[in-house]
A = this chain, B = another copy of it.
Amino acid sequence: MSSSRTARERVRAELTREITDVARRQLAVDGASGLSLRAVARELGMASSAIYRYFPSKDDLLTALIIDGYNALGEAVENADAAVPHTEHAGRWMAVCHAVRDWALVHPHEYALLYGSPVPGYQAPQDTVPAAIRDTVVYGRIVSDAHRAGALNPPGDHPPVPPSFREDAARVRELMPDVPDDVIVRSLIAWTGLFGWISFELFGQFNNTIMDRTAAFDHTMRCHAAMLGLPA
């Protein structure tokens, strides 16, 4: 039925994929703003204007790369979580942290595209949201699993959560049902700490200071886990 239309659509889908593949390779070499539609077209042996049949603008190509990146990271995180027994909550947490860092180290430019400075003039469309939260769903599930299993014992040395945080906490709770406000704050701290660390490592803030970064990262994440109530 659709084989006739598919003939055309298939070559179109093929070419679209080839374009994003080449673009991703260029991204890995020259970074986000070094991405050139003309260079992509050149590498594909087609006219630069032909690219615009597939991506109306450079921003649209970027959007495709961003969504792909979020999905790749999300998948890495999901796999890392699935590789650890479901009840070993601390182990799942650590595995997920290392998965994020490992992925970022292998794909630094893609990480920068997702979590670095926003590309000037580029406004991320709403389509990116589902992919963007794919990894956070996993973090939330680990915390709420641990909470439900009664395995969460956060040390009681934090100041009390201010009431003004109630509404924000409720929104976060959609990712980790039934979890109390205090734990949500701790999760937020661990989350920002995880990406803060990786960004510092990737963007050069540790240069000439932290050298054994894998060990320091592992220990830092272990501290985060303990603060979260997931001691090793």
Show the binding face of A for B, using Cβ within 8 Å: 30-34, 109, 112-113, 115-121, 124, 129, 155, 157-159, 161-162, 164-165, 167-168, 171-172, 185-186, 188-189, 192-197, 199-200, 203-205, 208-212, 215-216, 218-220, 222-224, 226-227, 231-232
**Please, could you name 29 A-B residue pairs with CB atoms under 8 Å apart, sorted by A?**
A32-B117, A32-B120, A33-B120, A34-B121, A112-B118, A115-B205, A116-B203, A117-B117, A117-B203, A129-B208, A157-B157, A157-B226, A158-B223, A159-B222, A159-B231, A165-B215, A165-B219, A167-B211, A168-B212, A172-B209, A188-B210, A188-B216, A188-B220, A189-B193, A189-B223, A192-B193, A192-B197, A192-B200, A193-B196
CB of A26, distance to nearest CB on chain B (Å): 11
A196 to B124, CA, bound (A): 20
CB of A20, distance to nearest CB on chain B (Å): 19
Protomer copies: 2
Main secondary structure of the interface of A (DSSP, over half): helix
Question: Which chain B positions have C-beta within 8 A of A212?
Answer: 164-165, 167-168
Question: Which chain B positions have C-beta within 8 A of A189?
Answer: 193, 220, 223-224
A30 to B118, CA, bound (A): 11
A164 touching B203 in the complex, CB below 8 Å, given contacts A157-B226, A159-B232, A223-B189: no
